Amino acid sequence: MAALSAVPPQIVPADSVRLVSPRDGGHYESFFQRANHPSRPLAFWIRYTLLVPAGDPDGAVGEVWATFFDGERAEVIAVKERRRLADCELVSGRLGLRIGGASLEEGSLRGTVNHGAHRIGWALDYDAPDPPLLLLPARYYEGGFPRAKSLVAAPRARFAGALEVDGRSIDVSGWVGSHNHNWGERHTERYAWGQVAEFDGGEDAFLECASARVRLGPVLSPFMTVVVLRLDGEEHRLNGLWTAALARTRVAALDWRYRTAAHGVRVTARIHAPPSAFVALAYDDPPGGRKLCLNSKLARCELRVERPGRPVCELQSAHGCAFELLGFPAHPDIPLAL
């Protein structure tokens, strides 16, 4: 149990661009923003990505992805644009980048992307009152293990502005979500990732969690589960190496369950969604090849928290949980987009 705290100085600012110039060793970096309607099954996900293939710095690109999840219509609309990195603008030392006509700065993102018959535009601002959240222990962010890093630069971000989705204007004022930053030399071999920025009862809570299998030489590790939960003004970090290894984890189809405990706190969770709430996307990996990501921002989360000296806390989000599965087989009912 620990009070909320800011990201340690060695990795501040949390959302600054880490790619200084293309490198032979390979690099990917993504900044994504996501939020959900406070009561309806509607959500957006916008991702700005920098990719340098290993051994091919001239092949470096910038990408913009935008997806709108409409649970009322059982519809997911996705678009993507790719530009040469040489034609993109990056700002060193802080958050600032432009890929084509899409821009991202601290608290603000603008852009429009056309792909096939679809078009998504956005003019969004967000307020970030809470300090950044580290999914991993702080010491792992500057070392070589794990190869992929992830943090939440702006938890519980509150958005204002509008989306345009195939000519339909959607006001997102008051939607709650997050601004996130990921980077590394390669994607994690296999993972399930989840995030809830606002639970249905309006409790003061934010959940960030992941179960991953990492490559250790020629073999894959068992699932290791890390959880960081902010609840009632405290941050519970169930993310130590042994805690992650001892967690009980099960991922079956589109249903993820785990149970973990540390420092007297026990967390039990189930995250799941129907195929209609997902889109399948292919992510290029810096070492080569692609990894399939099954991506939903309308998943259901059921969370049980046991803390010393307190009543059991049960939280749920009916359709406000972000849920991704990367490196798993394709699902027959989730078509590949883009």
Residue-wise pLDDT for 245-268, tens only, equals: 999 999 999 999 999 999 999 999
Confidence of residue 9 (pLDDT cuts 50, 70, 90): very low
* The pLDDT of residue 147: 82
For the chain, what is the largest distance between any 2 Cα atoms, rounded to a whole number of angstroms? 58
How far is Cα 248 from Cα 60, in angstroms, rounded to an integer?
39
Mean pLDDT over each residue of the chain, to the nearest integer:
93
* The pLDDT of residue 5: 43
Q: Which of 236, 237, 214, 211 is nearest to 224 (CA)?
A: 211
How far is Cα 111 from Cα 267, in angstroms, rounded to an integer?
39
Percent of the chain residues topping a pLDDT of 70: 96
Tokens of 107: 């608290």
Quick check: helix, strand or coil at residue 308? coil
Q: Is the pLDDT of residue 59 over 70?
A: yes
Residue-wise pLDDT for 196-247, tens only, equals: 999 999 778 999 999 999 877 888 899 999 999 999 999 999 999 999 999 9
Q: Is the pLDDT of residue 23 over 90?
A: no
Q: Is the pLDDT of residue 8 over 80?
A: no
Q: Is the pLDDT of residue 102 over 90?
A: yes
Question: What is the rounded (10 degree) CA torsion for 44, 65, 55, 135?
Answer: -10
Confidence of residue 12 (pLDDT cuts 50, 70, 90): very low
Phi first, then psi: what are they for 245, rounded to 5°? -70, -30
Q: For residue 280, which amino acid is it?
A: A
How far is Cα 286 from Cα 30, in angstroms, rounded to an integer?
13
How far is Cα 131 from Cα 250, in angstroms, rounded to an integer?
31
Q: b/e string for 32-53 if b means 16 or more Cβ within 10 A? A: bbbbbbeeebbbbbbbbbbbbb
* The pLDDT of residue 22: 76
Confidence of residue 78 (pLDDT cuts 50, 70, 90): very high
Contacts of 235 (CB under 8 A, 6+ apart): 2, 3, 4, 5, 133, 228, 229
* The pLDDT of residue 13: 60
* The pLDDT of residue 239: 97
